[in-house]
Structure 1
Amino acid sequence: MKTAARLIAASLALAALSGCGLRPLYGGGTRGPVQSMLSGVEVAPIPGEAGWLVSNAVRDRIEATRGGTPVYRLDIKLDDRIEGLGIRADDVVTRQRRTLRARYQLVEMATGQVVLDATAGSDAGIDVAGSEYATIAAERTALERLSGIIADQIVARLARYALADKAAPASEQ
């Protein structure tokens, strides 16, 4: 009896959910509006180690190596900081916070118009070890992790832009 009630409740919940207007972000696969737009994005070079990591992470996520003529250029400016947080009585730092912030602009290459201007950011805690090598390795690992997080945020925002841009002409009619 309880199983039947649960089955009915689950069926009703699914029926209600299907009418809420949710749709998959990458609907349509490689021919969908999101993937079509992302494959036309060229990531501009970003200086520095953090820039190299972020640009490669973004390229990996948007599959920018598929070729074709780029329609958009993605300009990214990074702000990478490390600050000491845990300071002992003898002024030795025991904990650091690495913060990586990105301001990015999606530029339509044909017109030079900025069509999207947004920011992304994250931070990570780092334990400062007695070994300088271990601390440097922890800082590097934090930068790699933050670069992936920033790239995920940027690509998610570009995907939302692609869906909104596709939906705009239909809503104007």
Structure 2
Amino acid sequence: MSLSRRAFILSALAVAACGFTPVYGPGGVGQKLFGKVRAADPRNPDEYFFSGFIEQRIGRPTAPVYDLAYNLRVAVVPQAITSDEVTTRYALNGTASFTLTEIATSRVVTRGQVSSFTSYSATGTSIATMTAEQDAHERLAEMLADQVVTRLLATTPDSLP
């Protein structure tokens, strides 16, 4: 048996011995949250994309056990300005604060905040710029949703029902 194979087997045994459970493995947090988290109803297009990506990642709630409250903040910041004071590129800076609450007991399971950014060009036609802006908002919502789901999976206790 090669040295790298031995090292892999020993590290796998060490991880198993410390009580490590894969997130999406049997009994893992991913399985405990999948289809059980109801995201708050969206109130604007950014929240619509965000809640849709949350559902894609951890499933549409069939029998919700947890409520996911969130607050998205998105700021549009001019990034590239010509000498004629024409903005040719914009940045979208986004933050998502979230709280996961158990519905039956109103107990806060976890909470946190994530942030990300993206940008888009404003040098094309009006239609191209509007399309690029909408796409940037959708990308930002996806990045924030991915980070929130990662935090939920990483910080939610294994002791959940």
**TM-based fold match above 0.5:** yes
Does structure 2 conserve the Cα–Cα contact (< 8 Å) formed by 1:86 and 1:96?
yes
Confirm or deny that 1:91 pairs with 2:88. no
Partner of 1:139: 133
Structure 1: runs of 5 or more not aligned: 1-6, 168-173
Partner of 1:4: none
Whichever residue aligns with residue 53 of structure 2, its letter is: A
Among 41, 44, 52, which residue is 2:48 paired with? 52
**Aligned mates of 2:14, 2:82 — CA distance in 1:** 54
Confirm or deny that 1:41 pairs with 2:37. yes
Partner of 2:24: 26
SS of the residue corresponding to residue 166 of structure 1 reads coil
**Aligned mates of 2:150, 2:59 — CA distance in 1:** 14
Confirm or deny that 1:17 pairs with 2:11. yes
Does structure 1 conserve the Cα–Cα contact (< 8 Å) formed by 2:30 and 2:58?
no
**Aligned mates of 2:154, 2:28 — CA distance in 1:** 13
1:10 to partner: Cα distance:
2.0
Partner of 2:2: 8
Structure 2: runs of 5 or more not aligned: none
**Aligned mates of 2:114, 2:158 — CA distance in 1:** 20
Whichever residue aligns with residue 121 of structure 2, its letter is: D
* Paired residues for 1:77-156 under 5 Å: 77-156=71-150
Whichever residue aligns with residue 158 of structure 2, its letter is: D
Q: CA RMSD in A?
A: 1.9
Structure 1 residue runs of 4 or more that deviate by more than 3 Å after TM superposition: none
Does structure 1 conserve the Cα–Cα contact (< 8 Å) formed by 2:33 and 2:58?
no
Of structures 1 and 2, the larger Rg is shown by: 1
Whichever residue aligns with residue 101 of structure 2, its letter is: V
**Aligned mates of 1:20, 1:89 — CA distance in 2:** 61
Q: Report % sequence identity.
A: 29
**Aligned mates of 1:95, 1:34 — CA distance in 2:** 38
- Figure out how many residues of one structure are paired with residues of the other and give that number: 156
Does structure 2 conserve the Cα–Cα contact (< 8 Å) formed by 1:98 and 1:139?
no
Whichever residue aligns with residue 25 of structure 1, its letter is: V
1:32 to partner: Cα distance:
4.1
**Aligned mates of 1:42, 1:104 — CA distance in 2:** 12
1:115 to partner: Cα distance:
2.2
